[in-house]
Amino acid sequence: MQLGFITANYVAREIGFNMTEGWMQGDRATNAYYQPLETYGERIGELLALIATQGYTTVDIWTAHLHWSWATPAHIATLRRELDRFGLQAVCYGGRFGENAAEFRQACAVASQAGMHVLAGSTGLLSADRAAAVQILQESDCVLAIENHPAEKTPADVLVQIGDGAGGRIGTAVDTGWWGTQGYDAAQAIRELWPHIKSVHLKDVLAAGAHDTCRFGAGVVPIATCVQLLKQGGYTGPIAIEHEPNHFDPTDDCIAMHQMVQEWWR
């Protein structure tokens, strides 16, 4: 099992875990903190060291920690060096990957050069020019795993976007928490999307209708059942723990949830 940590768990970290204006407040602050090349090594190294001490060996890198709009070859080389230093492997690139061909090509290039060949998120190019999106994925040897977010109410909505799967280049990143927010059984979503799953984000939420993430077992998502389904089905792709509170540090929860998933898998 590839059990990883999504760096977006720390969306509120650079504003003191006091995110009062929504997701983009944390996104902007994180981009601003990590973009300067002269401090990138120190700052990304400190973040990766924190993740490694929690027991994780793989990570999903959120775009705000290596954004395709500002990442240079030096940023990418620095990230790879720091990953090696802390014994971590980056397996997925998470976020929004632009709206047009030029932006999507840039995002795929950054992901590929950083060793992450699964892009878990979305791009406007897929609906605007699917053929161009598929061509870019093929050229960069990447896979687009569409992550269900507010627009996707049921697995059928995701399947429409996946279409024929483009020879395996397009699939889904199952976000169990967003299925919980939509009031849809995440375990059932896994069953319906099974042939197309490229990545899994294990997330719990306190209640349907909102997206307040929480420690596994405190919310409404059947995380243990989801894990058991993945194991029983022989899933071998990346699995990442996701928990993005606005007003507190999720580190203790992420340590506990890492242990919980390992136990369920055993």
**What pLDDT score does 1 carry?**
87
User: How many CB atoms are closer than 10 A to CB 118?
Assistant: 21
**What pLDDT score does 170 carry?**
98
SS3 state of residue 19: coil
Q: Residue 172 forms beta bridges with which residues? A: 146, 197
CA distance 15 to 28: 10
pLDDT digits 0-9 by tens, 94-140: 999 999 999 999 999 999 999 999 999 999 999 999 999 999 999 99
**What pLDDT score does 168 carry?**
97
Q: Which domains, from first to last, does the chain contain? A: 2-265 (3.20.20.150)
CA distance 253 to 176: 17
The pTM (predicted TM-score) of the whole model is 0.97
Residue type, 21: E
Give me the sign of the Cα torsion angle 45, 51, 57, 59. negative
**What pLDDT score does 121 carry?**
98
Describe the chain by its helix, strand, coil percentages, rounded to 5: 50, 20, 30
**Per-10-residue mean pLDDT for the chain, 266 residues long?**
95 98 98 98 98 97 98 98 98 98 98 98 98 98 97 97 98 98 98 98 98 98 98 97 98 98 96
57 dihedral zone (left: phi>0; alpha: psi -120 to 50; beta):
alpha
User: How many CB atoms are closer than 10 A to CB 8?
Assistant: 23
CA distance 255 to 242: 12
Alpha helices in the chain (DSSP H): 23-34, 37-52, 73-85, 101-113, 125-128, 130-140, 155-162, 176-181, 186-193, 223-232, 251-265
**What pLDDT score does 2 carry?**
84
Q: Which two tokens stand for residue 164?
A: 């024929």
CA distance 14 to 4: 21
DSSP tag of 258? H
What's the alpha-carbon Rg for the chain, to the nearest Å? 17
CB 184 within 8 A of CB 157: no
CA distance 140 to 111: 9
